[in-house]
Structure 1
Amino acid sequence: MAWTTRELEILQTTSRVSSVFSLLGASFIIITFCSSRSFHRPINRLAFFAAFGNILTNVATITSREGITHGNSSGLCKAQAAFIQWFMPADALFCLAMALNVYLTVFKKYTTKRLKNLELTYVLTCYGIPFIPAIVFLFPKDHAGTPIYGSATLWCWISNEWQFLRIAGFYGPVWIVLLLTLIIYILAGRVIFNLRDSLRKFAGAEHTSSSHTGPTRDTLGTRSSSVRPGSISPGPVHDSGVPAVVNPLTSYSCTISSGSGGKEPPLTVTRTRNSGVEANTAAWAYCRCAMLFFLALIITWLPSSINRIYSLIHPDSTNFGLNFAAALVLPCQGFWNGLIYIVTTLPACKEFMGNIWKKIVLPFEAMQRKLAASRRRSKASSLDSLNPA
């Protein structure tokens, strides 16, 4: 069934509006990350690197059907198709890189420095792997001389004559990446959740026992530590939001003297601090943040994957609803990433907006008030000159 002009206009407008929102989200990530070190957490760093791919994806999707109208052999069509084939899957690979950071943190005790050392590898891998098919697909043709890149309804991409490549060279690999990401989150989430649960129980038991016992006397600066049997060994807490999963249960005691020449016995206060709870809570927060990016990917890829499976099963049929859903969500990678970035760094975003208000808005308002006052004085002076005493 052929598309109507009205349907094609709706699909084109939808993809362009979604692309604009995505560009805004990706641009916000890049601007804030470059403006303030408050955003320089490891997961934000990966979102920052992915944002460039989001922007280049939207350069292609905002063009929409212009590539098709220029013809399958045009440079615009080929460039549009190559950009979509290259940068859309890169976003899924960056999500896998976030999951690998969670795995390395939880199971291998990677520090922040070691994670940063992996960033170049992540960038080269996430952009390098999809680059290969994006370039290779420029050259082959079928027996009828039809190139791989051509009309795909929404934009130039893998043409209908090469539909099997849409699954084999695009959606299939993406869903393999998403499955690997999900497996990592399940494994890491179980470990972090179990440790947090056990640490809460231990903290509750410590609180109950301490309420029945008086203060303990000890020498100044005494420190003892213990690790529960069967728990993960202690690891470092990273200063940028990616702590190792640890379980140290540390107690401190300090002696307070009244300074009365030793006439009164010193008072010793014992305080139990479970740094493992803090570390594991932060590790869970990092994992939860990364899983939000994963959820955004599911929202992005599921409708379009169903659409492609439908078109593979029914090559001579069209479904406006599925194509509309694909036009709505596929260009939105940068928007979802930007939204999650804002939610998970809300204090830093508030600080950033506050600085903008102080440096730009307030001086502008002050200038406007001065100009208004100057105009009032000029008007008053003109009235005085027209009405001499």
Structure 2
Amino acid sequence: MPLSDEQLHTLAIVGRCASVLSILGVATIIGTFISSRHFRNPIHRIIFINAFYNLFDFTATMISISGPEAGNGTALCQFQGFLLQMFPLADVLWTLAMACDVFLAVFYHYDAEALRKLEMKYIGVITTLVFTPAITFLFIHTPERGHMYGSQTLWCSISPKWVLFRIIFYYGPIWFIIVVVMILYCLVGMEIVKLRHKFKLTSNDHITQASITSANNVSFDHPNNAVTMTVEANVQSQPVHIAESHGRKESVSALLSKSSTNQISTSHLHPSNSITLDHRPPKQVSFREYVFMPLMFFIALLATWLAPTINRISAFINPGHESYPLLLAVGAMGSLRGFWNGVVFITIGVKGRRWRTKLRKRTGTS
């Protein structure tokens, strides 16, 4: 049976209230990033850029059922359909960009400057990928199927009469990207677990960019001298060794006896290269901000897309059937993503700032 006017009114209230909370979350992200220099690492910057894309997303969900009520051929419905085709997909792609940054930082030792250089590429690729189909669909119309953007009860998006396009250009890419992000985080997780087991890290474990150089000043960043992730190890409680390419182990405990906590890295070294410690302070990368924060964003994203996907599958199996509880879940979760993003951004960011403050006090760095 079709939904009653009271049910539609409730759906509109739920969706708009969630949208307001999301807009406040986005505003919090933008305001915090601008006002505090402590929230400006590469992951924070990606979240900040994505916040502007989210504003358009939640503008569309604020329109809510007013789009379908206006009619499929109206400017309001077509505008809402364009926004909901472009910006939710962009949000998923920005989550992929965060996962790529984490992967590059862990496996290829990209520092903040190297990651920052990727931002314009991310903007160009993501905007092109989502804008091209979204603007194209505005001009697709046939007498049999009508406009491609049409009523979906809660809002206007790709019409059920164009369901194949909705699978190919919307849900298909979204879940493909989600799977890719899951794979990247699994690889990062396995690498971190392997290093944690190998070096028996302390509870304050973090990723540190390489700070060891050879005696002849050959940088280990050279392709022929690949460096694995540098980690923090407590030399008082565990012996630490550096393994050379021929399997020989040379203890470095004597070199590190003056400090209770030191930065060590395993490297594939040429036999002629002796090892010395560079006294420059290593570049610290907070585990919470470079790994945990984007992972939490991904979990929020995953929760966001479960209800809409189940709703689409249900509509595909039972055409014409509308589940009111499921639509409530879609309206709430689909419009509340910005709020959770703001909560994660502030909570993890503040904890990361406290961690850096403790680290500076412990190491005596500024």
Superposition TM-score tier, normalisation by shorter sequence: 0.7 to 0.9
Contact 2:289 / 2:349 at 8 angstroms: preserved in 1? no
May I ask how many residue pairs the two structures share in their alignment? 300
Distance 1:98 1:276 in 2: 27
Equivalent position of 1:261 in the other structure? none
| Aligned counterpart, 1:302 | 306
Alignment check: 8 A CA contact 2:43 2:289 kept: no
Which deviates further from its counterpart, 147-156 or 135-144? Answer: 135-144
Larger Rg: 1
Structure 1 residues 147 and 115, CA, compared in 2 at 3 Å: closer, same or farther?
Answer: same
- Kindly indicate whether residue 73 of structure 2 is the aligned counterpart of residue 85 of structure 1: no
Q: CA deviation at 1:167?
A: 1.9
Measure, in 2, the Cα distance between the counterparts of 1:197 and 1:330. 39
What's the CA shift for 1:273?
2.9
Q: Does residue 1:317 correspond to 2:321, yes or no? A: yes
Equivalent residues of 1:251, 1:271 under 8 A apart: no
Once the two structures are TM-superposed, the CA of residue 61 in structure 1 deviates from its matched residue by 0.6
The structure 1 segments of at least 4 consecutive aligned residues displaced by more than 4 Å after TM superposition are: 234-237, 247-254, 276-281, 347-350
Mark the runs of 5 or more structure 2 residues left unpaired by the alignment: 203-219, 221-225, 232-240, 243-250, 266-281, 355-366
Cα distance in 2 for residues equivalent to 1:279 and 1:36:
20
Structure 2 match to 1:40? 40
Query: Percent identity at matched positions?
Result: 35
Any idea what the Cα deviations from partners look like across 1:331-377, whole Å, max 9, x if unmatched? 12211111110111125899xxxxxxxxxxxxxxxxxxxxxxxxxxx
Find the aligned partners of 2:293 and 2:4 in 1 and give their Cα distance.
42
Compute the RMSD of aligned alpha carbons. 2.8
On the 8 A contact 2:15/2:62 being kept in 1, the answer is yes
3-state SS of 2:157 partner: strand
Aligned to 2:332: 328
TM-score by length of 2: 0.75
- CA deviations on 1:232-255 (whole Å, 9 max, x unpaired) are 825679xxxxxxxxx97965769x
Residue ranges of structure 1 left out of the alignment (5+ in a row): 204-226, 238-246, 255-268, 351-389
Name the counterpart of 1:290.
Answer: 294
Query: 2:108 maps to which residue?
Result: 108
CA shift for structure 1 position 31: 0.8
Give the one of 220, 227, 230 matched to 1:233.
227
Q: Matches of 1:156 and 1:116 in 2, distance apart? A: 36
1:273 is aligned to 261
Task: Give the corresponding residue for 2:247.
Answer: none
Conserved? CA contact 1:38–1:348, under 8 Å: no
**d(CA) in 1 for partners of 2:324, 2:123:** 36
Q: Point out the more displaced range, 61-70 or 93-102.
A: 61-70
Structure-1-length-normalised TM-score: 0.71
1:42 deviates by 1.2
Counterparts in 2 of 1:349 and 1:251: CA distance versus 1, 3 Å: closer
Secondary structure of the 2:150 match is strand
Aligned residue identity for 1:326: V
Quote how far apart the aligned CAs of 1:165 are: 2.3
Shift of 1:274: 3.2
